């Protein structure tokens, strides 16, 4: 399937299902504010299977990411991968770097049809990564899991959070991504929700420099590079005249540039609420009451997020709003308005004289945790 052929008004390129918020780790950046135990009202196996059947109605080869918490905290994770695969979905998984991630569990997931595994690396050494994830041994378990994935023939994606605490680690992490043979490096620019509210984001000027550096990495590296919650990376790449955001990835999943909350992306929480992104805590419905297809295509919230001309402030005045559009999740975290400007962007459109967004986080419970 050609990812660029997907009409994002009709289907997401990525549908994330947060299987559970349960996780052994207590990472500083955790969007889910993960808990040690499973929530009693999580979607059951049968409800999850119904959700996967609905996801298949989006069309051929819909991409589904099983996330958490730690999705492997549910004993039916492999069963759900198998169910989704049989329904024609392309199933991927983002496990935590915990003891649940054994060679056996990876082999079981590969046998069930898993097409890619995404592991988080937030430091270039065991010391830095384990301090960020608050768990000794997490780095070694993650590297062992990456090697197990390689032996099982599973393509690997590495996810990294960029914030003040991790930004200096990026060159070392870049080398690890290469050494581990990953097909894609997904670089997440912190949005202050969940436990991530205690972390410091980097400044807009620093973010600009990181994105320029990433675009050079993307030109040279064997792996693909994508950003999460930082669509202005596309603007930075376009201003450089590079084509690195549109290069296909080296596995069957492919890549699709220009995805933003609700526009090519949807998130189903552990209790079935549907959000434009896991970092934008405005729900448009619940899969227990309405089909995820209907919510994605027809809810007012998702429709408004797909209209770049509805954006306000600096993003609304920006000539790059159709290419970029800013992070709607970050706009919401700072202003409680998902259509406002993204405060992480340093760019000021020519002739723009309106208000510039302030990067002052307003304390509120912005987590999607229920």
Binding site for ligand SF4 (CB under 6 A): 232, 235, 314-315, 318, 320-321, 324-326, 341-342, 345, 347
- Which residues, in sequence order, are CB contacts of 65 under 8 Å at separation 6+? 14, 15, 16, 17, 92, 93, 94, 118
Judging by DSSP bridges, how do beta strands 224-228 and 156-162 pair with one another?
unpaired
DSSP tag of 111:
H
Per DSSP, the three-state class of 175 is helix
Minimum CB–partner distance for residue 248 and ligand SF4 (Å):
24
- Any bridge partners for residue 225, and if so which? 185
Output 117 or 207, the one with its CB closest to ligand SF4.
207
Output 69 or 326, the one with its CB closest to ligand SF4.
326
Residues 298-325 as b/e (b if ≥16 CB within 10 A, e otherwise) read ebebbbebbebeebbbbbbbbebbebbb
For residues 271 and 44, give the distance between their C-alpha atoms in angstroms, rounded to a whole number.
Answer: 9
Residue 121 in contact with residue 129, Cβ under 8 Å?
yes
Minimum CB–partner distance for residue 246 and ligand SF4 (Å):
17
Output 98 or 341, the one with its CB closest to ligand SF4.
341
DSSP result, 299-364: -HHHHHHT-GGG--HHHHT-TTTTT----HHHHHHHHS-TTS--TT-----TT--SPPPP--PPPS
Output 64 or 207, the one with its CB closest to ligand SF4.
207
Minimum CB–partner distance for residue 122 and ligand SF4 (Å):
24
Minimum CB–partner distance for residue 344 and ligand SF4 (Å):
8
Residue 161 in contact with residue 190, Cβ under 8 Å?
yes
Minimum CB–partner distance for residue 267 and ligand SF4 (Å):
21
Output 218 or 318, the one with its CB closest to ligand SF4.
318
Minimum CB–partner distance for residue 310 and ligand SF4 (Å):
12
Residue 285 in contact with residue 262, Cβ under 8 Å?
no
CA atoms within 13 A on the CB side of 252: 14
For residues 211 and 193, give the distance between their C-alpha atoms in angstroms, rounded to a whole number.
Answer: 22
Minimum CB–partner distance for residue 249 and ligand SF4 (Å):
23
Per DSSP, the three-state class of 232 is helix
Output 33 or 342, the one with its CB closest to ligand SF4.
342
Output 158 or 318, the one with its CB closest to ligand SF4.
318
Helices in the chain by DSSP H: which ranges? Answer: 45-56, 77-86, 103-111, 126-133, 138-151, 170-179, 204-220, 232-240, 292-298, 300-305, 313-316, 328-335
Output 214 or 292, the one with its CB closest to ligand SF4.
214
Output 40 or 351, the one with its CB closest to ligand SF4.
351
Minimum CB–partner distance for residue 284 and ligand SF4 (Å):
23
Output 306 or 321, the one with its CB closest to ligand SF4.
321
What count of other Cβ atoms lies within 10 Å of the Cβ of residue 198? 9
- Any bridge partners for residue 280, and if so which? 277
Minimum CB–partner distance for residue 190 and ligand SF4 (Å):
15
Minimum CB–partner distance for residue 304 and ligand SF4 (Å):
16
């Amino acid at each position: 399937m050609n990812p660029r052929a997907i009409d994002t008004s009709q289907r997401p390129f990525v549908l994330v299902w947060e299987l559970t918020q349960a996780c052994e780790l207590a990472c500083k950046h955790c969007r889910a504010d993960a808990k040690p135990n499973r929530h009693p009202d999580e979607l059951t196996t049968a409800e999850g299977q119904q959700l996967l059947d609905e996801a298949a109605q989006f069309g051929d080869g819909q991409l589904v990411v099983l996330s958490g918490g730690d999705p492997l905290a549910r004993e039916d994770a492999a069963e759900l991968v198998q169910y989704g695969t049989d329904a024609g979905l392309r199933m991927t998984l983002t496990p935590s770097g915990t003891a649940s991630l054994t060679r056996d569990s990876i082999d079981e997931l590969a046998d069930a049809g898993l097409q890619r595994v995404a592991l988080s690396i937030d430091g270039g050494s065991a010391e830095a990564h384990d301090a960020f994830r608050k768990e000794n041994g997490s780095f070694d378990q993650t590297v062992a899991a990456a090697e197990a994935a390689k032996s099982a023939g599973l393509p690997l994606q590495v996810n990294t959070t960029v914030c003040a605490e991790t930004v200096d680690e990026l060159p070392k992490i870049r080398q690890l991504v290469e050494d581990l043979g990953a097909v894609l490096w997904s670089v997440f620019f912190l949005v202050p929700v969940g436990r991530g509210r205690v972390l410091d984001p980097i400044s807009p000027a620093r973010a600009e420099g990181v994105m320029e550096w990433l675009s050079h990495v993307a030109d040279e590296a064997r792996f693909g590079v994508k950003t999460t919650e930082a669509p202005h990376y596309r603007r930075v790449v376009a201003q450089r005249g590079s084509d690195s955001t549109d290069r296909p990835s080296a596995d069957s999943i492919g890549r699709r540039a220009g995805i933003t909350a609700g526009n090519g992306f949807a998130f189903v929480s552990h209790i079935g609420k549907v959000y434009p992104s896991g970092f934008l805590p405005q729900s448009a419905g619940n899969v227990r009451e309405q089909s995820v297809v209907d919510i994605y295509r027809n809810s007012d919230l998702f429709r408004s997020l797909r209209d770049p001309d509805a954006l306000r402030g600096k993003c609304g005045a920006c000539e790059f709003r159709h290419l970029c559009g800013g992070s709607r999740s970050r706009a919401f975290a700072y202003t409680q308005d998902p259509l406002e400007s993204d405060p992480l962007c340093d760019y000021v459109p020519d002739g723009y004289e309106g208000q510039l967004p302030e990067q002052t986080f307003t304390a509120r419970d912005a987590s999607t945790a229920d």
